[in-house]
Structure 1
Amino acid sequence: MGLAVHGILFIILFLMHAWAFREKSLKFFSPAGWPKNIGIHFGLLSAGILLWGIYPVWYHGLSKSFNLLFGEEGISWTWTIVIIALSGLAFFIGKRQAKLVDFSEAHFLRKPATLILIIYFLARIIFLIAYEMWFRGWFLGELLADFGKIWIAIGINTALYSFIHFFAGRKEAISAIPFGIILCLLAIELQVVWPAAVIHLFLSLGFELNFILRLNNDNISR
C-alpha cells in the first residue's frame, strides 16, 4: 500500500478526531458526559472501520488479512498465558479508571437508549479490531519493510499512536506510549495482530462496562 497512503489514512482519521473533539463528541463514555452529537461520534467510528479496516482488507485481500489477524499457526501456551495476563491487567486498569468518574454530575442524568448502547458496543469492537490491524499490522509492517530497523518502526508507530490520543488528554497520550510499544513488540514477536486487538478490547471494555455498571448502580441508589 505504501507509507504515503498510510500517511493519508492517518491524517484523515486524525482530522476527524480533532473535529469530534471540537464538537465535544470524541468519546462515547467520558468523565465529561455523553457526546454532544452522537452522530459525529458514530461517524468517527465508521470512518475508522472504513479506512483502517475495510479499505486495507479490500486492498490486500481476505486471505492476507486473515493471516495478518490470526496467523497461519497457533501460538505457544507460554505466550497464551502472557496474553491472558496482559488482558486481565488491561481490564483492571480500565475498571480502575471507571471508578474515578463522578456520576453525580448533571450531564449523566440522561443515559442513551439501550439500542444505541448495543450499536455502540458492536461498532466499538469492530473499530478496535480495525484499529489494531492498521496500527500493529499493515502500518507497522510497512514501517519495518521501509526502514528495516525494529526500533525505528516501533518509534514512529508509537509516536503517531500517542499523537492521535492527544485530544483525549495529556495523561492518555503519555500512557499510550508504553501501551503502544508493548503491542508493537507482541505483534512483531508473534507475527499476528489478534493479541494486540484482544488486549486493547479488554482495556476498553474494562472501562466502558464498569462505567455502565456504576452508572446504573448510582441511578438505582438515588
Structure 2
Amino acid sequence: MNIPAWNSTYLEPILAFALVTIGFSVYHFVSISDKVKAKYTAKYGSERGNTKFLWMTRYLGATTIGIIPAIVLLIITGKGLEDYGFAFKNHTTSLAWIGGLACIIIPMNFFNSKKEKNLAFYPNVREKEWTKKMVFTNALTWVSYLFGYELMFRGLLLFATVPLLGEWPAIILNAAIYALVHVPKNLEETIGAIPLGVVLCLITLTTGTIWVAFFVHITLALSNFFFSLKHHPEMKVI
C-alpha cells in the first residue's frame, strides 16, 4: 500500500476538521451527560438546576467549538483572525443582508413560535416564571454560543477549506457538517440547516466577514426565544 504524499497545504483544513470534531464532541457529550446535569440539579434543585446546566453548556459550546479552536489554529498556522472572516468590512452590503434576512426571519418566527410543536421545545429553558435577569442571561448565553458556532463554521472551517477545495465544494461540505450537528435536535431543523448553511457561507465569502452570519443567526435564535416565551401559555415574565 502506498502512503499518500503529504502536502503542507493539507495542514490547515485537517486542523479545522479535527478541531470542530473534538470541540463539538466535547460540547455534545457534556450537554447530554446525566451525571453532569445531576450535579446541577442536586445543588440548585430540579428546575433551576436544569436551567443553569443548559446555560453552562452554551458557554461551553462557545469555548470548545469556537474560541479554543480559533486560538489553536491561529498559533499553528500563524494567520490572523481577519484571515478567517473575523473582520469588519463591506458594511453597506453586510447591513443590507442582515436587514433583508431579518425581515424574513422575524415574521416567520412570530407565526411559527405559536405552533404547539415549537412550544413543546422552545424556549429551551422550561421554567414557568421568568425574571428579567433570566431573560437577559438566556439571551446572553445564546449570543455567546452562536459566536463560537459561527466563528467555527463560517469562519475557521470555511476559510480553511476554500483554498484547498474551492468555493463550492467547501460550501457544500460546510453545509453538510452544519446539518449533521443539527441531527440530535429534529428532522425539520436538520433539513432547514442545509439551505441556511449554504446561504450563510455564500454571504460570508462574498462579504469576507462572519458578522453577517453571526447577526442573522442571533436574529433567528433570539426572535424565536422571545416569541416562544411570549406565546407559551404556561410561561410569564415577572
Tell me which interval the TM-score lies in, with the shorter structure as reference length.
Answer: 0.7 to 0.9
Larger Rg: 2
Q: Which runs of 5+ in 1 are unaligned?
A: 26-33
Superposition misfits of 4+ residues, deviation over 6 angstroms: none
Q: In the alignment, is residue 80 of structure 1 matched against residue 95 of structure 2? A: yes
Deviation at 1:116, TM superposition (A): 3.6
Residue in structure 2 matched with residue 189 of structure 1 by the alignment: 206
Deviation at 1:152, TM superposition (A): 0.8
Report how many aligned residue pairs link the two structures.
205
Q: Partner of 1:81: helix, strand, or coil? A: helix
Deviation at 1:175, TM superposition (A): 0.5
Q: RMSD across aligned C-alpha pairs, in angstroms?
A: 3.2
Show the 5 A alignment for 1:103-118.
110-111=128-129, 114-118=132-136
**TM-score of the pair, normalised by structure 2:** 0.72
Kindly provide the CA deviation profile for residues 35-66 of structure 1, in whole angstroms up to 9, marking residues without a partner as x: 983344233212221123322443438x9336
Identical pairs, percent: 20
Seen in structure 2, the aligned counterparts of structure 1 residues 43 and 115 have a Cα distance that, compared at 3 Å, is: same
Q: Which runs of 5+ in 2 are unaligned?
A: 1-10, 38-46
8 Å CA contact 2:19–2:69 kept in 1: the answer is no
Q: 2:19 aligns with which of 9, 32, 51?
A: 9
**TM-score of the pair, normalised by structure 1:** 0.76
Q: 1:162 aligns with which of 148, 157, 179?
A: 179
8 Å CA contact 1:92–1:206 kept in 2: the answer is no
Kindly provide the CA deviation profile for residues 136-157 of structure 1, in whole angstroms up to 9, marking residues without a partner as x: 011100110221x211101110
Mean CA deviation greater in 187-196 or 9-18: 9-18
Residue in structure 1 matched with residue 104 of structure 2 by the alignment: 89
8 Å CA contact 1:91–1:204 kept in 2: the answer is no
8 Å CA contact 1:96–1:207 kept in 2: the answer is no
Q: Distance in 1 between matches of 2:25 and 2:189?
A: 16
Equivalent position amino acid for 2:81 in 1: S
Q: 1:153 aligns with which of 170, 173, 182?
A: 170
Q: In the alignment, is residue 179 of structure 1 matched against residue 196 of structure 2? A: yes
Q: Partner of 1:174: helix, strand, or coil? A: helix
